[in-house]
Amino acid sequence: MNVEDVVEWANNSIFDKTGENLTPLQEAILTGVWQRQKYPQIAKDFHCSESHVKKEAAKLWEKLGEDLGEDLKKFNFRSKVEKKYRVSQVSNSGDCLLQEIDINICNQFIKNIKNTQTRSQSPPETSQTQNQSTIINLIEAPELTTFYDRTSELTTLKQWILEDHTRLITIYGLSGIGKSAIALKLIEEINTQFDYIMWKSLNNIPTLSTLQTELKQFFSKSQQTPLSTVIDYFRNCRCLLILDDLQDILKRGELAGQYLPGYEDYSKFFKQIATSPHQSCLILLSWTKPIEIATLEAENRSTQTLNLKGLGEEATEILREKGLIDQENWLELITLYQGHPRWLKIIASTIIELFNGSVSLFLTEQNDIYIGDLEPNLKSHLERLSESEKTVINWLANEDQPVNISQKPANLVLSKPEFMQAIQSLIRRNLIEKVEGGGRSLFLLNPVFKAYIQFDTTEP
């Protein structure tokens, strides 16, 4: 959906209710907000005051809220429109129609999106579903309620899939960092390029055989002749498969990325997806980077990894949603909690509860990083560590400066290989960060985890 479609829809919606068209300023507000501009920039471009823009915007959200929800605001306008509507090109016509595509069946969300345009990179002689509907099953996907701007990461993912034809992509990062959100947003933007899109969660730990059976049942629904294997469907159709919660089939208490007993065949499956010629894409979402992914990345251009980090200034939308005050201190709070969306939401609730939403009071009272209700989120990561990782992470928690790991500390009861493996594993879990200093790489423990470990060890 482009901005012209949005303005046209909004104009029609308001005209139906009031008999009046959008004013030029209202059109400017819609255009600017859709392009993620701030009110001061919109006011500057329209040559009026920011207060006037805010006043007109409030009226606009109230009018459009009848269609999109009473809680409509600037920060959620785009996500609400994109969730509720899409633009569908009408066959043999230059017209555009806004079609509502949410189909709720027993609270399950399934999309069937009509695609009347030729899909790129889908040769007619191999795709059995050309010019049919894109079949999308998001039953096991979480709901995308709000999406915070990740333009750079989305651009990278779209390039990998649509231009570079990457077959295997891993998006990994800390829990709650936004892996599922960016994958869902990606689906919204590229769904017309595929014949099938399916989201599967591995949190119920299915065997590979069970997973493949479910996938073949899904892919075969519109096929006259069912195919033998998943890779056959990947070759004959353009499929996008998202496997969420990959960490749930990985071992606890071992170095990062090792599979549970009986689940090692997933590694072979992923390697087959990466190295076999086909026109589809598999996206893995995980807390941890699996071992074989690093090897495949080094050997195969059809494998890419995105290590998802926190938000930057875009995280101010989270604090605005929560109704915090002292906006001049927001960036300090965001930096302290590394722009992590879930952490910021939890801490914002604490600030409301204890300081009536005052960020400055919260920061004044905190000599160290406050953990509070973040503890369960942090603990779930540390519980997965091996003994050697626990040894290293406890050592790092007591270091005041980034450390050079070329020399193993004498007081650590680990061999040099064990020490290096533990460091590498902690990096793949996003618990250790690498920084440059004096022309060499130095390492430090994630500050929030450091504060939690120090607090935990000082408790009686």
- With CA atoms as reference, report the closest residue to 350 among 368, 329, 324: 324
Look at the alpha carbons of 11, 14, 19, 25 in this order and tell me if their dihedral is positive or negative: negative
- SS3 of 250-296: ECCCCCCCCECCCCCHHHHHHHHHHHCCCCCEEEEEECCCCHHHHHH
Distance CA 273, CA 269 (A): 6
User: What was the pLDDT predicted at 121?
Assistant: 41
User: What was the pLDDT predicted at 46?
Assistant: 75
418: confidence class by pLDDT, cuts 50, 70, 90:
very high
For the chain, the average pLDDT equals 83
Look at the alpha carbons of 169, 172, 175, 178 in this order and tell me if their dihedral is positive or negative: negative
Q: Retrieve residue 250's tokens.
A: 């990985």
On the 0-12 / 13-18 / 19+ scale of CB atoms within 10 A, 257 is buried
Distance CA 193, CA 239 (A): 9
If you average pLDDT over residues 377-401, what whole number do you get? 93
If you average pLDDT over residues 88-109, what whole number do you get? 33
Q: Which residues are within 8 A (CB) of 442 and not within 5 positions of it... i.e. 6 or more apart? A: 401, 402, 403, 404, 434, 435, 436
For the chain, percent of residues with pLDDT exceeding 90: 50
User: What was the pLDDT predicted at 112?
Assistant: 37
Distance CA 171, CA 177 (A): 11
User: What was the pLDDT predicted at 457?
Assistant: 57
Q: 331-343, pLDDT tens digit by residue?
A: 999 999 999 999 9
Q: Retrieve residue 290's tokens.
A: 């699996």
Q: 268-312, pLDDT tens digit by residue?
A: 999 999 999 999 999 999 999 888 888 888 877 789 999 999 998
User: What was the pLDDT predicted at 92?
Assistant: 33
